[in-house]
Amino acid sequence: MAIDTIAVFHAFAGPVCAWGCAEGVVTTLSRMQYGVIDCGRPPVKRVNLDSLKRADLVILCGPEHFWPLIEQEYEAEWNRLSMPKVAWYTESAYRDDRTFDFRGLKGIADVHYYPAIQDAEEFGGNWLPFGADIEMFHPKPVANACAAGFIGNLYPKRLEYVQSLTCPLTHIRPGQHPHVRRSFELLAEAYCCTDIFVNLPAYSRLLVTKVTEVMACGTMLITPAIDHPSGLKNMAQFENGRHVVYYDPARPAELGELVNHYLLHPEPREAIASAGCNEVRRGHSLETRLQAIISDVEFGKAASSPFVVAEGAISRRARNQPVAEKRYRLKTAWDSFAYYDGDAGIIGHARPDVAPHNFCLTVNNLRASLTSVGPNNSGGAQLRYEHPSQEWFEPGSTQGIVRQRERRNMPDCDLEFVGTDQVLIRHRNNYLSADPDGIIRNDRNWALDHEIFHLVEFD
């Protein structure tokens, strides 16, 4: 199914609700050129059923905080809504101060996304950590206000911790504004005004939203290792000492040592800040997270599911290598070139002197889109493969029907490099393959020689 209009229910961003779990989702989807129905949450904001039925997808952001209000507003009609409904939670089920009954919320949506990996495992959902809105959170030219600082409420756990520290930390207090967007712009400026940003221990057992927000702002982050065994795997998102620095919250002296070390050594501090910023922009943005949800719904399977590489062909996962945004022709293992046949609804491949110059791969870092090319190399439409069903099919037997997408040109392919200009292209959870009959199909989850393409700059 194709998603064009998305209804978003959310709490309202503010001191206790992050931008990326609320209005930031709405603005990011709009920026991605989806139609958005901003539902907020009742009774503060009410969207009637007729308006809601226009949506192709409903996203509930943080429903553990307001689901009873949704249930009261729509009653039995909620379960009669025909479009897919997904829940993306904003808490870990078990916190130091309370628990959330995620098991009791299983019936509110068709698919469930948890920001803590241990909850995805326990409750049978998908792990989807927080992402940063990189239009809101990015490096800003602001005056330096302190060497090391933190932002946040000093509830008892944190207050006790701060009082035990041996290093001075500035409590940064961002400016507030009547307009919520401007308040978060001021928050982003505050993230940028310190040499080192320190996250204090939290009640939850996950990487909080500040992690990706601070990193996206280009500020070095020192953040606590999750202090419960169940949540340790969440930290694997970022490499300690390269993208971020984790400290042991049980050893307050260690935090002081780390802060003092990096204040005295600006080069490694700036290297970590830069690497962290680049890593968030590469794969941990809010747009990336939302695209994962949309792809799951459109393609009917988890975007994070493992892909098998055929034994004896490529012995390990292809290494990733960023590519600047650019258009490329695809040269196959047959020394032929890919082209688009709109009448037949296929992407084919033919000899260089025969293949029309009307198709390219539009690459943006490690993501890409299949794109037709108009007259005089003008921009064309984004293309995507249509699979007749979710049933298993014999590789090489499908027709490989390709349709044009309307309105937008969002990357929906993942690139896996096997050489400087050689790639595997994953689209709709399968690899593209140049088959001997001249058709490029998208019907296998393993990679052999026919699945390797050479990138040739578009003339």
Q: Are residues 383 and 349 part of one domain?
A: yes
219 falls within a domain? yes
Residue 378 confidence (pLDDT): 77
- Mean pLDDT is lowest, of 71-85, 156-170, 280-294, for 156-170
Each residue of 394-448: pLDDT tens digit?
555 566 689 887 655 678 888 887 777 888 998 877 889 998 889 999 888 777 7
Q: At residue 321, does pLDDT exceed 60?
A: no
Q: Are residues 181 and 193 part of one domain?
A: yes
**Cis ω for the linkage preceding 43 (within 30 of 0):** yes
Rounded mean pLDDT of 27-48? 92
Of the three residues 283, 314, 336, the one that is the final residue of a domain is: 283
125 falls within a domain? yes
139 falls within a domain? no
Cα–Cα distance measured from residue 199 to residue 47, given in angstroms and rounded to the nearest whole number:
37
Cα–Cα distance measured from residue 361 to residue 424, given in angstroms and rounded to the nearest whole number:
12
- Mean pLDDT is lowest, of 16-20, 29-33, 410-414, for 410-414
Residue 409 confidence (pLDDT): 60
CB 181 within 8 A of CB 206: no
Q: Are residues 236 and 340 part of one domain?
A: no
Q: Are residues 199 and 100 part of one domain?
A: no
Q: Are residues 373 and 273 part of one domain?
A: no
Which CATH number goes with the domain that contains 80?
3.40.50.2000
pTM for this model (two decimals):
0.69
Neighbours of 17 (CB within 10 A): 19
The DSSP secondary-structure symbol of 364 reads E
Of the three residues 283, 312, 334, the one that is the final residue of a domain is: 283
In the chain, the number of structural domains is 3
Burial-class residue 101 by CB neighbours within 10 Å (0-12, 13-18, 19+).
exposed
Q: For residue 400, which of 350, 348, 359 has the smallest C-alpha distance?
A: 348
Each residue of 339-385: pLDDT tens digit?
999 999 999 999 999 999 999 999 887 788 999 998 887 778 899 88
What angle is formed at CA 71 by the lines to CA 69 and CA 75, rounded to 5 degrees? 135
Sign of the CA dihedral running 153, 154, 156, 158 = positive
Residue in the structure block whose two tokens are 């991605």 = 32
Rounded mean pLDDT of 49-69? 95
Residue 283 vs residue 7, higher pLDDT: 7
Q: For residue 237, which of 280, 272, 296 has the smallest C-alpha distance?
A: 280
CB 125 within 8 A of CB 146: no
212 falls within a domain? yes
Q: Are residues 413 and 388 part of one domain?
A: yes
Q: Are residues 73 and 19 part of one domain?
A: yes
Cα–Cα distance measured from residue 291 to residue 332, given in angstroms and rounded to the nearest whole number:
28
Q: Are residues 271 and 163 part of one domain?
A: yes
317 falls within a domain? no
CA 327 to chain centre: 23
Q: Are residues 222 and 273 part of one domain?
A: yes
Which CATH number goes with the domain that contains 382?
2.80.10.50
Q: Are residues 452 and 331 part of one domain?
A: yes
- The rounded mean pLDDT for the chain is 87
What angle is formed at CA 46 by the lines to CA 45 and CA 48, rounded to 5 degrees? 160
Domain of residue 160: give its range: 146-283
Of the three residues 220, 255, 283, the one that is the final residue of a domain is: 283
Proportion of the chain above pLDDT 90, given as a percent: 63
Q: Are residues 151 and 125 part of one domain?
A: no
Residue 124 confidence (pLDDT): 92
Residue 160's pLDDT band, with cuts at 50, 70 and 90, is confident
312 falls within a domain? no
**Polymer length in residues for the chain:** 459
- DSSP track, 61-109: ESGGGTHHHHHHHHTTHHHH--S-EEEE--S-SB-SS-B--GGGGGGG-
114 falls within a domain? yes
Each residue of 69-121: pLDDT tens digit?
999 999 999 999 999 999 999 999 999 899 999 999 999 999 999 999 999 99
Q: Are residues 156 and 79 part of one domain?
A: no
Q: Which of 47-61, 381-395, 413-427, 444-458 has the highest mean pLDDT?
A: 47-61
Each residue of 171-195: pLDDT tens digit?
999 888 889 999 999 999 999 999 9
Residue 282 confidence (pLDDT): 86
445 falls within a domain? yes
